[in-house]
Structure 1
Amino acid sequence: MNRRPRRAAAVDPAAGCTVTLCRGCCCGTSKVTGIDHAGQLAQLRRTLAGTAQVRVSGCLDACEHANVIVVQPSRDGRQAGGRPVWLGLANDPGAAADIAAWIHAGGPGLADPPGMLDLYVLTPARRVRQQLA
């Protein structure tokens, strides 16, 4: 008889979107002024709780675009052709709300982002993109 305690079923992070906030050398620091960095992270965690994984990363090496946020598609989004979307200069107070609305609608591959997010899209170098692959 096995007496090891059962673990609770793990949440499959691949099933939902993942939002990664760069908080390295420039992003999330006082070098980027006029934004409540902790508030942005808290807002994303609060509004996406149970829907998407929100995580913090060290420097993603796209400092000229601080603050950088990467939205990775859900499993269904990837199957539909969605790829990670890099957002740079995501310093507007409404950026977190727009990101949350997009993810609630399905995120990359399943829903078009709100028009405002189009202004933030960037294409980082291949080497940098591979850090989140």
Structure 2
Amino acid sequence: MSRRERDRVGKQGGAGKQGGRGPAAPVTVTVCRGCCCGTQEKHPGVDHAGQYERLRAAVGDAGRVRAVKCLDTCAHSNVVVVGPSSEGRAAGGRPVWLGWVLADDMIEEIATWVHSGGPGVAEPPGLLDLQQISVSRRVGEGLPG
């Protein structure tokens, strides 16, 4: 049984479901940690591992934080993608790509946004407007689910 099936079985009876379609998906924060993002070579002096752990702690149970090898947008490293929850997607929210996420205040703003509901539910706070980047459809569709 897959993790997704276990989650669905564990939440039967209505809790955490959306219209009978299974458990609601949380806001997902995908952190690139590939060839450029997350490396001392490209960004000396940035505590990449500590930054990732601070993001996970700040998001807590409000969303899901995961690291992936490469999002193929190296010119904008460090890249973070904030994906909408089920509720946010139903409201028209789409993944928001953020570039140059190098400072702790950006980590705090991402966590604040996740706690507020993320894309489709809440507007991104403060500096995140300046961090938004556009990616090609090929790159955007390649984000692991």
**Pairwise TM-score range, normalised by the shorter structure:** 0.7 to 0.9
Map 1:54-133; keep pairs closer than 5 Å: 54-132=65-143
Q: Deviations over 1:34-54 (max 9, x none)?
A: 321111110111111211110
Question: What is the one-letter code of the residue matched to 1:74?
Answer: S
Match of 1:16 among 18, 26, 34: 26
* Closer, same or farther: CA 14–130 of 1 in aligned 2, 3 Å: farther
Give ranges in structure 2 of 5+ residues lacking alignment: 1-5, 17-21
Larger fraction in helix: 2
d(CA) in 2 for partners of 1:13 and 1:120? 31
More RCO (CA 8 Å, sep 6+): 1
Q: Give the gaps of 5 or more residues in structure 1.
A: 1-6
Shift of 1:33: 2.5
Secondary structure of residue in 1 paired with 2:89: helix
3-state secondary structure, aligned to 1:48:
helix
Is the Cα contact below 8 Å between 1:66 and 1:88 reproduced in 2? Answer: yes
Residue correspondence of structure 1 range 30-41 to structure 2 within 5 A:
30=40, 31-41=42-52
| Other-structure match for 1:42 | 53
* Counterparts in 2 of 1:16 and 1:67: CA distance versus 1, 3 Å: same
The 3 A distance-change label for structure 1 pair 14 and 59 is farther
SS in structure 2 at match of 1:59: coil
Q: Which residue type is aligned with residue 139 of structure 2?
A: V
* Aligned residue in 1 for 2:3: none
Partner Cα separation in structure 2 for residue 112 and residue 93 of structure 1 = 19
Percentage of pairs with the same residue: 53
TM-score by length of 1: 0.88
SS at the partner of 2:81? strand
In structure 2, distance between residues paired with 1:125 and 1:60: 11
Q: Aligned-pair RMSD on alpha carbons? A: 1.9
